[in-house]
Structures are given as C-alpha cells and as structure tokens.
C-alpha cells in the first residue's frame, strides 16, 4: 500500500521522494529489464541491418553489378568505363565515385540504410531514385518502395500517375544560331490530359550549353567546338519550348512517340530527376543535345545508338538510328520503339496557311490595313460583306498575335494597341464557326538522306580531259537531295579530290567550307514580312591554265528573291558579290535558277553572268545538276558547268 504525500513541493517526477525506497524494489528491476530488452532489440536490429548490408554488398560483388552496363549508364561513365562525364560533385556519394563505379555502388548501398531525418528530400534514396529502382531488381533491398512517402519533392515532380508515354522531339534547323543550324532535340513526358490536348503543360527535358549573355559569335563558336562551355539538363514545361522554337524562331517540330514498358518509362523518368541541373562539358559537334539524349535512351533501349558515331553526332542522326532500329526489329518480328511520328508546324506555317484561305482581294485589303495601320479598318472593311469581314478580322488577329509573340519580350506598344482594336471590332460582329486548319505535313528530316556523303565519279574537262573524282562531306543536304529543306541547301566541309587518268597526279579539285542557299518561298505575299532569299559560299576552286593548277579562294554572298512557280517548280534570282584570291578580286554575279521536284528525282539549273574586270565586262556562267535515287542510301548524279572550265561529270553518291 502506497501513501502519497500531500506536499507537492517534494515531488520529483511523479513519485514522492520519501516513498521512493519501497518503489525501488519493484519498479527499478522492471525498468532495468525493459532497458536491457530495448538495448538487445536495438543491438539485434543493428546487427541484422549490418548483416543485411554485408549480404547485399556480397551479392552485388558476386553479380558484378559495379561493371554492369546499366550501372555505368546511370553514372554516365564514358564508353570505355573509366570515368564519369558528370562534372557536378554531389552527383556522387563516394569521393571516388567519378572514377570508381564499385566505390559508388558500395556508397549507394550503404546510403540506402541511412536513417530518415527532417530533410528527407536530401536523403540519397530521394536524390537517386533510379539507382535504387534498378538495384531493387538486382538485390533484395529491404522495405523498398519506388514511391517513398518521405520523398515529397520527387512525388510531385515525377507525375507517377499521369505520365502515359515519352516522346523525342526533333526541331528543324535554324540559321540564326550556329548551334541550331543542324537542328535540335529534346524529350517530352506526355500526360495526354484532356484539359491540355496540346501538351503545353507537359514536362520536357532539354540539354544545352550554359552560355553567358551577349557572347561574341566567334568566341561562342570556338568555345562550343572545343569544349569551352559547361552544359546541363533542364526541365521546363513544353510551352516554353513551343514559344522559342515554334513561335519565335518559326521552326517545325516532329514528335516521335516512343513505345516503352512501364519499367523502362519509370526508370527513365527517375533518372531524369537525378541529372536535372547536373553539369557536363559541351561540345557542339558531338557531345551535344542529341548525343546526351541518346545516352539517356540507351539506359532503357538495348540497341546501341552511339557506337557508330563519327567525329560528330547531329540531332537528325539520333532519329536515323531510331528508324534503323525499328526496321531491324520489324525484320526480326520484334516490337517497334517508335509508335508514331507527328508533325507540329511552326506558328509561321500555320499563319501562312490561314492567310492562303483569303481571296486575292481580301489579301490586298489585309495588306493595306497592315501597311496603313489599324485606323484604316473603317476605310477598307466596308468593301467586304459581313461574312468576309469576319474572315479578314480573324486573320488580322492571328497575324498580330503571331507578331506579338515573335517580338517578345518587348513588343512595341502599338502592336498591343492594334490587336486590342481589331479584337473590339471583331466582337462587334457575330461569331462564326472556324473549322480546324489542316496543315499539309512536312516529312521528318530523318525520312530524307543521311547527312554524311561519300561520292565517286568521273569528270570530263576541256583542259584536263577525263579524271576520277572522289568527294566527301560530313554534312551534305543539297538542293537536289532528298531532304526536308524545301529547296534550301546546307553543305559543310565538302571536299572533292581528283586523280588523273594516268594516276600520276592527285589534286584538290574543290573545297567548300560552307555552302548555304536559303530560298524564302512565302506562300502568301505579306507587306510586313522579310521576302528576301540569300546564299553564301566560303571555299576554294582549282583553276587549270597551261597545264598548271592555281587555287582561287572564294567568299561569296548575295541576296535575291524566290518564288514557287508551280507545285514542282521553284524559281529564284540572285545578285552575288564575291571576293576572290585571284584577279579580279571583286566580282559581281547576277544569275537565275530553277529547281525541279519530280518526286524522288530532283534537278536544278542556273544561268547568269560574272564580271571579269572592273570595266563592266561580263562572261556567261551556267550549269546544273540532276540526281536519281537508287536506294535510301545511294543515288546517281549528273552535273555540268562552265564555271572553272567547261565540264561534265557522272557520279555515284552514298549517304551514311
């Protein structure tokens, strides 16, 4: 029986101090037994955990997981397996992790057993979910769950329940930026939301160089070529990509929707979480957006997307590899990896197609309002019926919106005022049904010829007689080639070597550092749009005179105008100004050209004049080329010209 003191001032805890002795004999032994039991349980748990870690590490070592291809890909090791290309230190849990995959594996397994603390998102299990997701398939990780409740940031970002598929996007080339000349690629996580059918709020993964603002162009090119920039992956909503590529730079996009299993899709998404914000070294020609995305895909696709790469890896190369992979799978009755290819036209292409719906008179009124200003609405609109007024006003609204977006971030105030006034005028008229525009689809660049070209042929020259020609270019998208450039041309590092008929003479016949033809064939004539076409050539020609070769360096640029004359015929006129290493050093070269598109067969002819002195004398220049495809990777071409000497050639070209 216990008697509790009424003097609460003498309480120490819940037990009266002066009655502690009777309690000691009963309570203390029980407490001691409990403490001993807890200590034993904790000790046995720690021993079990240590044993579990040891067993898991032994199993990992026995199975050689440190050298498993997937583990090395998760760590972004170079293909020789010697070093990770990730520059960010906190990507590794071991101090040796950048060069020792086994040390990183050991540290990753140890970290799995770390106790949770208040900052759960900083825990390795939340930072590296793809590692543990893959390891859970190889090792018996106790109590593993891919959706760890403590990883709240990952749970919100990964959209486990909403991402239905993953797409690769191929963006057309853009001559306004050297790094974008050959196109771009990025990844998109598709939710297929009914509330967002355009997918503008789907997450994308983009890889790009971290370039300072206002970087000089020559410095930008040099550092991009030789690894002078760091680069990284960034996650953004698709509307930011759409704003830049489609609505500002007016570039078309092709959506390649991939077929992945649930496991593959989850592993890829979790690994994206691991690498966002991590730094790499950027190389414009090879370790670029396409290369890094191919590395990501190789994590879940067993086919090799990179091993056949030459000294550069262009965005379209990745999509050619996907096509090759699916063709091989079809032949072996396997499942394709590309479910569908969807064309996403640029904002400019959409606008022009809408304006093509106007009659010539309506287009004239449209241009008059654009030229004279919005105050002229009341002057020009009454010339049309109410129905056609609505059509013109809708077109004007689309045009002003197109201009507003392209002029961001600081569009002129007058632009917004013009749009508001057009909108108010349009609201004064009845609503009308607008059927969806059906934009003609442009084939993907990956459906055309591969960029690298190797050729062999024979040429007949009035000075040299016949000789063998060998040509090579790492990137050759010609005017007469099978490509998606719509009559344009872009060729880089184009070498042609000649070998005399006797075999005793080898010479460089022609070299082009770069050759560009940009034909702006607007489908409608707009007063406020740039109508100019242009061409550029930087290269060198061989000129044979009296049995001796001279080399003439050339830098030639000229503006002009192009027009689609028929569905299969495109015409243009150019006036080139050229600097030469041989006299005359400055030359004028006006000429006309026609390009014919007969399906698979393409042809081009040109005719013009070139100044031969500074007194106004000109000589005739002309030539042409026709190309017949044999297969997807080979074609025959015939070429003639009187530029350097009257010459004709016949050759075979392979694309690879």
DSSP codes, 521-553 = --SS--TTS---EEEEEEEEEEEEETTEEEEEE
> d(Cα 92, Cα 76) in Å, to the nearest integer?
11
Is-contact 114 124, C-beta < 8 A?
A: yes
CB 144 within 8 A of CB 115: no
Q: How far apart are CA 348 and CA 608, in angstroms?
A: 33
Measured in whole angstroms, how far is the alpha carbon of residue 588 from the centre of its chain? 39
3-state secondary structure of 252: coil
- Greatest mean pLDDT range, 309-313, 333-337, 601-605: 601-605
Nearest to 22 by CA among 45, 39, 1: 1
pLDDT in tens, 70-121: 999 999 999 888 999 999 999 999 999 999 999 999 999 999 999 998 899 9
- What domains are defined for the chain? 44-148 (no CATH), 165-344 (no CATH), 360-427 (no CATH), 448-655 (2.40.160.40)
Q: Give pairs for 619-628: CB < 8 Å, separation 24+.
A: 621/589, 621/591, 625/478, 625/479, 625/480, 626/480, 626/601, 626/602, 627/478, 627/480, 627/481, 627/601, 627/602, 627/603, 627/653, 628/600, 628/601
- The pLDDT tens digits for 213-265 are 888 888 988 999 899 999 999 999 999 999 999 999 999 999 999 999 999 99
What is the average per-residue pLDDT within 485-511?
Answer: 90
Q: What pLDDT does 27 receive?
A: 44
Mean pLDDT of the region 467-475: 95
Predicted TM-score (pTM) of the model is 0.87
Residue 238 backbone dihedrals phi, psi, to 5 degrees: -60, -30
Which pair of tokens denotes residue 289? 């957006």
CB 181 within 8 A of CB 220: no
Question: Is residue 179 reached through a cis peptide bond, with omega within 30 degrees of 0 on the bond before it?
Answer: no
- Would residue 564 be called left, alpha or beta, if left means φ above 0 and alpha means ψ between -120 and 50 degrees? beta
Is the model's pLDDT at 172 over the cut of 80? yes
Contacts of 54 (CB under 8 A, 6+ apart): none
Is the pLDDT at 44 greater than 80? The verdict is no
Instruction: With a cut of 90, say whether residue 195 has pLDDT above it.
Output: no
Write down the pLDDT at residue 300: 97
Each residue's pLDDT tens digit, 445-461:
999 889 999 999 999 98
Number of H helices, E strands in the chain: 16, 22
Sign, Cα dihedral of 605, 611, 612, 616: positive
DSSP 469-518: EEEEESEEE-TTSSSSSTT-EEEEEEEEEEEETTS--EEEEEEEEEEEEE
């Amino acid at each position: 029986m216990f008697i509790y003191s009424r003097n609460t001032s003498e309480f120490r805890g819940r037990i009266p101090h002066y009655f502690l002795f009777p309690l000691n004999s009963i309570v203390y032994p029980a407490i001691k037994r409990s403490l001993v039991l807890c200590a034993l349980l904790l000790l046995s748990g720690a021993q079990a955990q240590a044993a579990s870690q040891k067993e898991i590490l032994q199993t990992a070592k026995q199975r050689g997981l440190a050298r498993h291809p997937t583990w090395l890909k998760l760590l972004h090791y170079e293909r020789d397996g010697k070093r990770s290309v990730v520059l960010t230190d906190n990507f590794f849990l071991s101090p040796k992790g950048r060069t020792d995959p086994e040390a990183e594996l050991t540290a990753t397994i140890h970290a799995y057993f770390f106790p949770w603390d208040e900052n759960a998102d900083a825990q390795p299990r939340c930072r590296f979910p793809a590692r543990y997701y893959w390891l859970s398939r190889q090792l018996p990780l106790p109590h593993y769950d891919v959706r760890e409740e403590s990883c709240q940031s990952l749970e919100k970002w990964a959209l486990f329940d909403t991402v239905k598929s993953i797409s690769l996007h191929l963006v057309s080339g853009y001559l306004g930026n050297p790094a974008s000349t050959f196109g771009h690629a990025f990844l998109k996580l598709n939710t297929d939301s009914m509330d967002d059918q355009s997918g503008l709020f789907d997450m994308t993964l983009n890889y790009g160089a971290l370039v300072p603002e206002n970087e000089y162009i020559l410095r930008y090119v040099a550092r991009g070529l030789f690894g002078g920039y760091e680069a990284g992956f960034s996650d953004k909503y698709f509307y930011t990509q759409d704003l830049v590529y489609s609505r500002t730079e007016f570039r078309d996009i092709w959506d390649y929707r991939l077929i992945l299993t649930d496991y593959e899709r989850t592993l890829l998404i979790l690994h994206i979480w691991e690498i966002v914000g991590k730094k790499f070294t950027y190389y414009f020609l090879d370790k670029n957006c396409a290369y890094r995305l191919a590395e990501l895909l190789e994590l879940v696709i067993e086919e090799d997307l990179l091993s056949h790469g030459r000294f550069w890896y262009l965005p379209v190369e990745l999509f050619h590899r996907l096509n090759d992979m699916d063709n091989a799978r079809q032949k072996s009755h396997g499942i394709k990896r590309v479910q569908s290819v969807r064309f996403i036209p640029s904002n400019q292409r959409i606008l022009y197609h809408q304006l093509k719906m106007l009659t010539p008179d309506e287009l004239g009124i449209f241009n008059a309002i654009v030229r004279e200003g919005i105050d002229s609405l009341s002057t020009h609109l009454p010339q049309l019926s109410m129905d056609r007024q609505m059509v013109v006003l809708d077109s004007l609204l689309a045009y002003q919106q197109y201009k507003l977006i392209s002029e961001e971030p600081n569009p002129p105030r007058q632009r917004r005022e013009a749009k508001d006034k057009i909108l108010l005028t349009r609201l004064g008229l009845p609503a009308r049904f607008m059927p969806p525009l059906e934009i003609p689809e442009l084939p993907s660049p990956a459906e055309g010829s591969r960029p690298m070209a190797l050729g062999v042929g024979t040429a007949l020259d009035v000075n040299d007689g016949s000789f063998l020609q060998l040509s090579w270019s790492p990137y050759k998208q010609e005017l007469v080639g099978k490509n998606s450039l719509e009559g344009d041309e872009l060729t880089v590092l184009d070498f042609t070597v000649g070998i005399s008929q006797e075999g005793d003479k080898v010479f460089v016949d022609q070299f082009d550092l770069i050759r560009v033809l940009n034909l702006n064939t607007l489908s409608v004539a707009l007063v406020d749009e740039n109508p100019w076409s242009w061409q550029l050539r930087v290269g060198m020609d061989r000129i044979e005179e009296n049995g001796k070769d001279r080399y003439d360096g050339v830098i030639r640029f000229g503006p002009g105008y192009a027009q689609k004359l028929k569905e299969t015929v495109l015409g243009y006129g150019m006036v080139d100004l050229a600097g030469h290493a041989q006299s005359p050093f400055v030359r004028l070269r006006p000429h006309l050209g026609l390009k014919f598109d007969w399906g698979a067969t393409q042809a081009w002819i040109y005719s013009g004049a070139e100044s031969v002195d500074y007194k106004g004398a000109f000589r005739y220049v002309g030539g042409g080329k026709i190309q017949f495809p044999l297969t997807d990777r080979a074609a025959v071409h015939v070429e003639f010209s009187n530029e350097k000497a009257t010459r004709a050639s016949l050759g075979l070209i392979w694309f690879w």
